[in-house]
């Protein structure tokens, strides 16, 4: 069985990309390993505990994914496949009982915060930004009480629904053509 490590956790955009990239590469007997960040993927590749990594490398709105660039800039790797995923961000709060005026911050991955900056400034200017490692982790942390109920999160519709959060708004990305390029790679 081949192991593919991806940024994020189940429900993340990277998980979707990992499944599509495995299909493209015709890798059929696969175990998907959520590794949250690029550093963890590199570490697991170097230790040989995963065979491939899936990483977001560039977004059409926010540009290069700095986490990927910083982690892999001096590493020799083989780029095997590319997948471009349309990215549609949603804003969630803990529950219907949480009033909007109770919210003070919004938590998400820096890329998601960047990709929704104009929409949030126009519609939710009171929410201060809190950067976290992954969009789907924000949904999990809010549901589990790791983030306070005064926090909203930006994540995929899938992640927010998986954690039974209350949808505030869909498609809050600043560009309707928002897309992220993901790579399947392995070390040389």
Residue range 30-71, pLDDT digits in tens: 999 999 999 999 999 999 999 999 999 999 988 899 999 999
Same domain? For 107 and 165 the reply is: yes
3-class secondary structure, 17:
helix
Q: Domain with 109 in it: what CATH number? A: 3.40.190.10
What is the predicted pLDDT for the residue at 93?
A: 98
Task: Identify the domain containing residue 124 by its residue range.
Answer: 90-169
Mean local confidence (pLDDT), 130-136: 95
What is the predicted pLDDT for the residue at 62?
A: 87
3-class secondary structure, 119:
helix
Mean local confidence (pLDDT), 13-42: 96
Reported pTM: 0.89
Same domain? For 6 and 79 the reply is: yes
What's the chain's average pLDDT?
96
Task: Count how many domains the chain has.
Answer: 2
* C-beta separation of 7 from 36 below 8 A: yes
In this prediction, residue 182 has a pLDDT band, given cuts at 50, 70 and 90, of: very high
* C-beta separation of 10 from 34 below 8 A: yes
Same domain? For 55 and 80 the reply is: yes
What is the predicted pLDDT for the residue at 144?
A: 98
């Amino acid at each position: 069985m081949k192991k593919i490590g991806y940024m994020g956790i189940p429900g993340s955009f990277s998980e979707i990309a990992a499944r599509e990239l495995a299909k493209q590469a015709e890798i059929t007997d696969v175990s998907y390993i959520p590794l949250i960040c690029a550093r963890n993927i590199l570490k697991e590749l170097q230790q040989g505990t995963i065979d491939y990594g899936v990483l977001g490398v560039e977004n059409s709105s926010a540009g290069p994914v700095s986490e990927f660039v910083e982690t892999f800039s001096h590493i020799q790797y083989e780029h095997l496949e590319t997948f471009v995923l349309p990215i549609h961000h949603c804003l969630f709060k803990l529950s219907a009982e949480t009033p909007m005026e109770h919210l003070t911050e919004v938590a998400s991955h820096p890329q998601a915060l960047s990709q929704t900056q104009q929409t949030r400034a126009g519609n939710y200017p009171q929410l201060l930004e809190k950067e976290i490692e992954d969009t789907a982790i924000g949904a999990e942390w809010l549901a589990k009480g790791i983030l306070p109920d005064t926090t909203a999160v930006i994540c995929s519709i899938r992640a927010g629904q998986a954690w039974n959060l209350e949808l505030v708004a869909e498609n809050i990305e600043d560009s309707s053509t928002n897309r992220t390029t993901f790579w399947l790679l392995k070390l040389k």
